[in-house]
Every structure is written in C-alpha cells, then in structure tokens.
Structure 1
Amino acid sequence: MSIKITGIGSFIPNLKRKNSDFLKQEFRNTDGSAFPHANEVTIEKFKAITGIEERRYLEENLSTSDMATVAAQRAIEDAGIDPETLDYLIVAHNYGDVRSGSVQSDTVPSIATRVKHNLKIKNPKCVGYDVLFGCPGWIEGVIQAQAFIKCGMAKKCLVIGAEALSRVVDRYDRDSMIFSDGAGATVLEISDEAGGILAHESATYAYQEANHIFFGKSNLPGEVEDTRYIKMNGRKIYEFALTQVPGAMKTCLENSGKTIGDVRKIFIHQANEKMDDAIIKRFYKLHKLPVPENVMPMSIQELGNSSVATVPTLLDLVIRGKIKDQELKKGDVIILASVGAGMNVNTIVYQY
C-alpha cells in the first residue's frame, strides 16, 4: 500500500504586477526614515536578490476561500472522485479571508468550512479544518493527511494551500514586493501502486527564532497603530533556512531509503531565488556533489511568493508541462521542502 497524490489543481490570479509598477511607491525603513536612493536602485537590488520580476494579485471581488475552492475543484476533477467520499478537507493558510479594502482578517467560519460549503459537500463525515503553520502549511497538511490514511482514519483527503498576501502587506515596506496570491490543492488516496510518500520530516524552532516573521506596524510614521502587516527579518530568515533546511532534507532522504542519485526534482518553497539556490547547493554539498542541471523548478520569477501555495502550485505547473524544460515521469523521486513562520521547516520525499 502507498499513499499517493491522485489529483492536483491550482489557481493563479490573473492580475499581474511588474517591478516597474513600484517605481512611484513610497518606501520607508523600519524606523520610518526615507530611503536614501531612488526606487530604480531599490528595485534593481530587489530583483538581483529575489529573482522576482512580477507577481500575481487576487482580483478585488475574490478572497482566499474563493481561490482555495477553485484549486480544490480542479484537484477533485483531476482525481476523478466524488467529493462526497472525502474524509478530510485540510486548508493551510495564515491570514484567513481578508476582503479587499478591509483591515480585518475573517477566520470564522474556517476556510475549510467555507470551501466545503462552496463545493456543496453534504457528507458531515468529511471533516474540514485549517492549518496555520507558516509557509510550510501545505506540506504539513499533506503529512497530516497521510497520517490519517496510514492509521485507517481516512481513505481520501483533500489538502489545499491558499493565501492572499497582497491583502496584508505594508505598501511602505520594500519587502511587500516579495509577496503574492495563489492557491494549490491535492487529493491524497490509498494506492496499490508503488511509491507515494516515502518519508517526511518536520520541526519548529521557537526558542530564538519565533519572531523572525511577525505582524507589525507600518513603516510610515503616523499610520494607524492598531493596524498590523506581515513583517520579516530577511537576514535572519536567510541564515536560518541555510542552516536548517538542507539538513532536514538530508535526514528525510536517508529515512526514505532512497539516495541522492535517485532524486530527480526538488520542489522548494518559492521564497527567494538566491536563498533557494543556496539551500540546494548546501544540500548537495552535504553529499559532496554538485547541483544537477534542472533539478530545481522555479516559478518565483513570474509568480512571487504566495506562501503556502508556492509548492503545490509549482508542482501542478510542472506536471502540466507549463514550466520550460521541466517534467516529471512516473517513478521519479522528488523532494518537497519548505521553511517559514514559526520558524517551521518540513520536507517530504515522494515517488511520483
């Protein structure tokens, strides 16, 4: 018996915002002071570090649960299942349904309940709940789903990662250019085929690292003090990721029974191109090997960082042949990995 992804789908918003759209943006330092150089310089440095050229924003009439619903519908159709047969519906996010123009996050009812309602699932035994685990939330949801299936509590689970970060960014913070919106969903089932989830690894580092990503006030002095936005300490996150993620991936691979030579693709959270490159280089360095060509698909250049949605969305794009020079073949061993608020790290070794 194996536990496999039998259906996958995603929702990528249509609204594009290019780096050039930020040329007239007023950016401030954390102390409220103005930047000493022009936005052209800020954007050039931003592109060199993150790799981001454009990002996607959600249309004003939609919310996180709407994106999650569309991605879920596509995954269900791809799996060819009756949604009434789902045992669990798990949604990873961090900020709830934030309506356009609102400064308040709406988390009641849960996103999972909203999605189940939108899908018109009548079966009360289909249990819906949300996961708040930072950017690694979708991977953690998959880990939980496979645990339910493995212990006999479920046969079919739907796991969704959805986030509308454009609704919680401080426009005076240059880090706001990193974030974007999107949703990805997968159906997991018991399968007679070999492969599926071979191993997983999760960890939470909270002793010194808990507040690397947090909710804080605007960089603009005089803004409403009670309004909070997503904030992060980029340097500390970079150092943390390079220290913890490669080791977690190595341990997970060892536990899977596969070797580094078996790995065909690594799907890593699209947080920062420079950081992701460094993580993969350090991971292969642990095995005293160079990084193979085309081992790491990337979507951050066009889609930005959509938090919990980056890994399932990227996986969907590759499976559907929408990323140049990237494909998956039956039997390929892949690694899914993420790092984010918590600070949380997780990884899965999966045979496609």
Structure 2
Amino acid sequence: MHIGITGTGSYIPTITTLNTDFINHTFLNTDGSPIPNSNEVIIEKFKKITGIAERRYAKKELNTSDIAYLAAERAIEDAKIDKETIDYIIVAHNFGDVTYGQTQADTLPSLATRVKHLLQIKNPKCIAYDILFGCPGWIQGMIQAYAFIKAGLANKCLVIGAETLSRVIDPYDRDSMIYSDGAGATIVENTENTGDILAHNAATFAHNEANYLFFGESYNKEENNNTRYIKMHGRKIYEFAVTHVPQAMKDCLDKSGVDINDVKKIFIHQANEKMDEAIVQRFYKLYNKPMPEDIMPMNIYKLGNSSVATVPTLFDLVKRGKLENHAVKKGDVVIFASVGAGMNINAIVYRY
C-alpha cells in the first residue's frame, strides 16, 4: 500500500501589502509606551530578521472557509477524482471564520462542514471536521489522513490548511507585520504508484511552553473593547524551535530509513526566515553535514506567515513550477516540518 498525495491546490489572496504600507502605523511596546525608533528603522529590522517584504490579505468578502474551498477545488481538479468519493475533509485552522471588520470567531458549523457545503458534496459518509493544532495543523491533518487510510477506514481524504490572520492582528504590535492569509489543500489517497508517506513524528510541549502563543489585549491601553489579538513571545518561540524541531525531524527521518543525503527538499513552516534557516542548519549538523544549497524553498518574503497554510501552499507552488530554482520530481524524498502554538511540532518524510 502507498499512501500519497495525488492532488494539490492553493489559494493566494490578491491583496498585496508591502512593508512600506506600515510606515504610518503607530507601534507600541507591550506596556503601551511608544517605541523610540522610527518606523523606517522598525521595518528595516523586521525585514532583516523575518525576511518578509510583503504579505497577502484576503478580500473583504472572503472568509477562511471560502479560501479553503477555493484551494480544495483546485486540489480535487488536480487529483482528477470524483468529489463524492472523498471519505474525510479535514480542515486545519486556528481562528475559524472572522468576518472582515468583526472580532468574533465563527466555528458553527465547522469550517470543514462549510467547505463540504461549498463543494456541494452530497455523500453523508464524507466526514468533515476541523483540527486545531497551531501552525502545524495541516501536517497533523496529513498524519490523521494517513492513519485513516492505513487502518482501512478511508481511501481518499481532503486535507486543508487555511487562515485569515489579518483579521486577528493588533495594529499596534510590530508582530502584526508577520501575519498573512492563505489556503493550501491536498488529496491523500491509497494509491499504487503515486507518492508515499514513509514516516511521521509529532509532539506537544505544554509544561512550560503552552502559552508562548496566546490571545492577548491590544498594546494600545486606551482601547477598552476587550478585543483579543494573536500575541507571541518571539524570543522564547525561536529558542524552542531551534532546540526541538531539528531533533524531531531527525527522529522522523531515521524512522523512515532514508539516508540524509537522499533528502531533496525540506518544506518547513514559513514562520521566520532566520529561524527556519537555523532549524535546517541544526538538523544537518545532527548528521555532521552542512546544509545543502537550495534544500529549503522559501516564499515568506512574498507571502508572509499564513500559519497552517504555509507548508501546503509552498508545496503546491513548487510542484507547479512556480517558485524559481525549486522543483520536485517523481521519486524525490522531501520533509514537511512545522512548529507552532501548543507548543506543537511535527514532521513527515514523504517520497514524491
């Protein structure tokens, strides 16, 4: 039995926001005090650390479930399957549908149910549910799809990662420049000749690390509307990620039996350019090897951090030849890896 990806699709929102668009923002410290540096300096430092030059936001009329549906349509078309034969629809997100201009997250019904409705799938045996697992949600959904198929409970699964983080950011927080919107989808099937999930690994660190990412108040202390926004302890996340993710990736690769020299690409969550580079460098250091050139496709500089959507979107773009100097061909071994709120870590070794 081979359990592989037979179709991919992504939705890249059409509104592009440049770093220079933040030039007139009022950025504040956590205590509400003004940041002494000019916005030019703040933006320059931000670009140097994160690698982000621009990001994409969804149009006002589109919610997370809408862009998830658009990515799903493309994946189904790419896989050339009858949508009525899908056994599971698994949608990874973190904030549900947040209508533009509103602050309340809407998850009733689930986003997966909404996607199924938009796809007009009539089959009641197609089970639709959501998964909350921080930024590693799409990879965790892939692991669950693999488990369903391997156990004989499914033949085809639709796994989606979608988010509209632009709706849950504090405009007074410098970190608001990191986040973006997007959706990526995959069809996972029991197949004879297309791809294979060779190994997977996952972990949750919640003893001291549970609240490294959280919902918190605006840095503008004059706001009294009790609205909460996505917040993070950036330094703690960085230290956590570079400490734990490389070993999790190594454990996964060792479990697969694949030699490190046979890995062709690493599709890592587009969280922060410097952090991602440090993770992959440390991963190779565990094998006493230097990080190969062009091993790690990156599109964070144009698309920003769209949480659960970054890995499936990146994979879809590379698969379709839309990322310069990067490609995958049949038989290539790649690694999917992510880290995020929870704190959760996961990885998959996949033969394309």
User: TM-score band (shorter)?
Assistant: over 0.9
Q: Which residue of 2 aligns with 1:291?
A: 291
Which residue pairs with 2:230 in the alignment? 230
Q: 4+ runs of 1 displaced by more than 3 Å?
A: none
Aligned residue runs from structure 1 range 112-151, under 5 A? 112-151=112-151
* SS at structure 2 position matched to 1:295: coil
Letter in 2 for 1:96: G
- Measure the CA separation in 1 of the matches of 2:162 and 2:192: 30
Letter in 1 for 2:96: G
Asked if 2 retains the 8 angstrom alpha-carbon contact of 1:7 and 1:78, the reply is yes
Equivalent residue, structure 1, for 2:315: 315
3-state secondary structure, aligned to 2:116? helix
Contact 1:318-1:327 within 8 A present in 2 as well: yes
Question: 5 Å matches for 1:16-27?
Answer: 16-27=16-27
Structure 2 equivalent of residue 221 of structure 1? 221
Determine the C-alpha separation between the residues in 1 that align with 2:179 and 2:266.
22
Corresponding pairs, count: 352
Write out aligned runs for 1:296-307 (5 A).
296-307=296-307
What corresponds to 2:50 in structure 1? Answer: 50
Q: Partner amino acid for 2:111?
A: I
User: Offset of 1:164 from its aligned partner?
Assistant: 0.2
Aligned partner of 1:160 in structure 2 is 160
* Contact kept? 1:5, 1:196, Cα under 8 Å: yes
Comparing 262-271 with 217-226, greater Cα deviation is found at 217-226
Q: Look up the equivalent residue of 1:67 and give its one-letter code.
A: I
1:56-67 matches, within 5 Å, as 56-67=56-67
Residues 310-334 of structure 1, C-alpha deviations (whole Å, 9 max, x = no match): 0000000000111100000100000
Task: Give CA-to-partner distance per residue, 1:38-96, whole Å, 9 cap, x none.
Answer: 00000000000000000000100110000000000000000000110000000000000
**Correspondence for 1:79:** 79
Contact 2:134 2:307 in 1 (8 A): yes
Percentage identity across paired residues of the two chains: 67
Q: CA deviation at 1:192?
A: 1.1
Superposition deviation, residue 280 in structure 1: 0.5
In structure 2, C-alpha distance between the alignment counterparts of 1:96 and 1:205, rounded to whole Å:
24
Which residue in the other structure is 1:255 paired with?
255
Cα deviation, residue 20, structure 1: 0.2
Give the aligned residue type for 1:14: T
- Indicate whether 1:344 and 2:344 are aligned: yes
Letter matched to residue 276 of structure 1: D
Post-superposition Cα deviations, 1:129-160, rounded to whole Å, max 9, x if no partner, equal 00000000000000000000000000000000
Q: Deviations over 1:215-257 (max 9, x none)?
A: 0000001212521000000000000000110000000000001
Q: Distance in 1 between matches of 2:88 and 2:302?
A: 32
Structure 2 counterpart of 1:202: 202
Distance in 1, matches of 2:153 and 2:130, equals 18
| Farther-moved stretch of structure 1 (216-225 vs 276-285) | 216-225
Measure the CA separation in 2 of the matches of 1:99 and 1:194: 38
| Contact 2:91–2:112, Cα closer than 8 Å, also in 1 | yes
Give the Cα separation in 2 of the matches to 1:72 and 1:349: 23
Partners of 2:110 and 2:338 in 1: CA distance: 23
Q: Aligned partner of 1:209: which letter?
A: E
Q: Give the residue type in structure 1 aligned to 2:323.
A: I
Letter in 2 for 1:221: K
Equivalent-residue separation in structure 1 for 2:107 and 2:169 (angstroms): 18
Aligned counterparts of 1:145 and 1:322: Cα–Cα separation in 2: 27
The answer (yes or no) to whether the contact 2:173–2:219 under 8 Å persists in 1 is: yes
CA distance in 1: counterparts of 2:283 and 2:59, whole angstroms = 38
Tell me the C-alpha RMSD between the 2 structures. Answer: 0.6
Contact 1:217 1:225 in 2 (8 A): no
Shift in Å at residue 191 of structure 1?
Answer: 1.1
> Structure 1 length normalisation: TM-score?
0.99
The answer for the alignment partner of 1:325 in structure 2 is: 325
Structure 2 counterpart of 1:270: 270
CA distance in 1, matches of 2:202, 2:223: 38
Contact 2:5/2:195, CA 8 A, preserved across alignment: no
Give the aligned partner of residue 242 of structure 2.
Answer: 242
| SS of corresponding position for 1:316 | helix
Contact persistence 1:75–1:187 (CA under 8 A): yes
* Matched letter for residue 305 of structure 1: N
Give distance in 1, aligned partners of 2:274 and 2:63: 30
Structure 1: tracts of 5 or more residues without a match? none
**1:194, CA displacement in angstroms?**
6.8
* d(CA) in 2 for partners of 1:94, 1:195: 29
TM-score by length of 2: 0.99
